[in-house]
Amino acid sequence: MPDSKYLIVGGGMAADAAIHGIREVDSKGSIALIGAESDPPYDRPPLSKGLWKGKPLDTIWRDTSKQAVELYLGREAKTLDPQNKRIVDEHGAVYTFEKLLLATGGTPRELPARAGRILYFRSLQDYRTLRAMAEQGRRFGVIGGGFIGSEIAAALTMNGKEAVMIFPGEGIGDRTFPRDLSKFLNGYYIQQGVQVLPGQSVVDVEAHGEQVVFKVRDEKTSKICDVTVDGVVAGIGIQPNIELAEIAGLETGNGIIVNEFLQTSHADIYAAGDVAAFHNPALSRYIRVEHEDNANTMGRVAGRAMAGKPEPYRHLPFFYSDLFDLGYEAVGELDPRLETVTDWQEPFRKGVIYYLQDARVRGVLLWNVWGQVDAARSLIAEPGPFKPADLKGRLPAKKA
Ligand SMILES: Cc1cc2nc3c(=O)[nH]c(=O)nc-3n(C[C@H](O)[C@H](O)[C@H](O)COP(=O)(O)OP(=O)(O)OC[C@H]3O[C@@H](n4cnc5c(N)ncnc54)[C@H](O)[C@@H]3O)c2cc1C
């Protein structure tokens, strides 16, 4: 029975960051990690970006195993008994702990349509599968116009494949960007060779020999048409993996609820990364963030707290993405339903968009503008009130 001082459930980026955090404080305490994937922890963002642009596969590995840790890979934790501090995996193996971290991330949402032959893209194994599919096939359906869909469509196109993007909204990234930018992206993707089908929902998917035919319904006219492709990949969001926390009776909501020291409602059980919902002082509300900076920073803070050095987690994470040769960094709440103030240096190519609520800045999109993440964080922390004219020219911040 593996009996460790620190037990981590989940083999992703938050888990690896936590192990480094523990080792910064405690060089000797035993650490065990249970991870459902058979691969050890790796960086996920390159799966839809760098690896399709020639970045070697061996650059994605984290150096988890160098931190004196027992890795139990290809194992899924099934039950958690907080009183007796025990986890049981799907083979019935029992793991005990003094401090536990739940870093279980999220599982891709699936379509209600008969979904055989759809690859829901999340893991390194999914990347390997898509690479193998891309060796055989020429034309791919990409379902979803958010982060994963837009990156995968670009990745396939840059690798000489035809991509057909299908999503119910009006434009690419329309849950993040203002309407005009999102509409611009539709045109930009078309210019790059992507077939873009906005306002369409997938209602059924059928295998026809080696090919896949999916039926898409136009949201406005309800007209249904067939799209035939060699493979289908989908990125339509994730659901946080909160089952273990629920079984254990820990407080959950949109994620596992943690306090500022990243403890769940049980003082010896912590949560971090995509699965954890925490209070952010700058935004004055609970948030759950599905981005790399949060997984890395929060994981480390959780690890240090588990090892006896608690510090409040007040970080406002940033995120980023690449869309062909466009790229951006962003901080805070990017909700296009908020008031937006756009300050282009070059329309749709370079500039800053501010998202406001009640005359305070809630989010900042830095579109091909680099090195301004901290300045954007400071702006979000300012009480305001801001008028649109106050923000024009505010970023990039002038060097003092
Ligand atoms: C293709 C892709 C591209 C991305 N690109 C970007 C980007 O450009 N910028 C950005 O900021 N973010 C990006 N992200 C998001 C970022 O990768 C995530 O925020 C980050 O991986 C979250 O880390 P995590 O450790 O919390 O969860 P995960 O990375 O999801 O890891 C959780 C792990 O826990 C395992 N697990 C779950 N339940 C159990 C269980 N019961 N027992 C054992 N193991 C379990 C899972 O199998 C998984 O391995 C991207 C994500 C993907 C998928």
Query: What is the Cα Rg of the chain in Å?
Result: 22
Distance 272 CA to ligand 1 centre (A): 11
Q: Please give the number of the atom of ligand 1 that sits closest to the Cα of 276.
A: 26
From atom 34 of ligand 1, which residue's Cα is the shortest distance away?
10
Residue with tokens 């801001």: 386
Contact 228, 213 (CB under 8 A): yes
Q: Is 247 in the pocket of ligand 1 (CB under 6 A)?
A: no
Token pair listed for 15? 């888990």
User: What confidence category does residue 398 fall into, taking pLDDT thresholds of 50, 70 and 90?
Assistant: low
Q: How far apart are CA 23 and CA 74, in angstroms?
A: 24
Characterize the bridge pairing of strands 255-257 and 276-280. Answer: parallel
Contact 351, 391 (CB under 8 A): no
Token pair listed for 251? 């407080």
Nearest-CA neighbor of 6 among 101, 105, 104? Answer: 101
Dump pLDDT digits (tens) for 348-366.
Answer: 999 999 999 999 999 999 9
Contact 323, 356 (CB under 8 A): no
CA distances from 142 to 48, 182, 228 (A): 13, 17, 12
The answer, yes or no, to whether the previous bond of 56 is cis (omega within 30 of 0) is no
Q: Is 8 in the pocket of ligand 1 (CB under 6 A)?
A: no
Q: Find all residues with CB under 8 Å of 263, minimum gap 6, and list them.
A: 269, 270, 305
Task: Reply yes or no on whether the pLDDT at 52 is more than 80.
Answer: yes
Mean pLDDT, to the nearest integer, of 52-69?
96
pTM of the model: 0.96
Q: Is 255 in the pocket of ligand 1 (CB under 6 A)?
A: no
SS3 content of the chain, % helix, strand, coil (to 5): 25, 35, 40
Task: Reply yes or no on whether the pLDDT at 93 is more than 90.
Answer: yes
End-to-end CA distance of the chain: give it in Å, rounded. Answer: 58
The answer, yes or no, to whether the previous bond of 108 is cis (omega within 30 of 0) is no
Ligand 1 mutation pick, 33, 104, 247, max ligand atoms within 8 A of CB: 104
Dump pLDDT digits (tens) for 131-148.
Answer: 999 999 999 999 999 999
Task: Reply yes or no on whether the pLDDT at 172 is more than 90.
Answer: yes
Distance 288 CA to ligand 1 centre (A): 13
- Residue 115's pLDDT is 54
Q: Find all residues with CB under 8 Å of 150, minimum gap 6, and list them.
A: 165, 172, 173, 185, 189, 321, 323
- Alpha carbons within 13 angstroms on the beta-carbon side of residue 236 total 20
